[in-house]
Amino acid sequence: MTSSAHTLHAVSPTATITFVTESAVVALPMGAGAAPVVCRRHFEGAHLNFDAADGIRAEVVGERDPVPWYSREERDAALATLETYRDLPWEPEDLDRLVAHVRSTPFYEWDE
Q: Is the pTM of this model over 0.85?
A: no
In tens digits, what is the pLDDT along the chain, a chain of 112 residues?
344 454 555 555 555 545 555 567 777 777 777 788 888 887 776 666 566 565 777 788 777 788 899 999 999 998 888 888 878 777 778 888 888 999 999 999 887 6
3-state secondary structure of 57: helix
Contact 69, 108 (CB under 8 A): yes
What's phi and psi for 93, nearest 5 deg?
A: -70, -30
d(CA 4, CA 45): 26
Cα atoms found within 13 Å of the Cα of residue 112, Cβ hemisphere only: 0
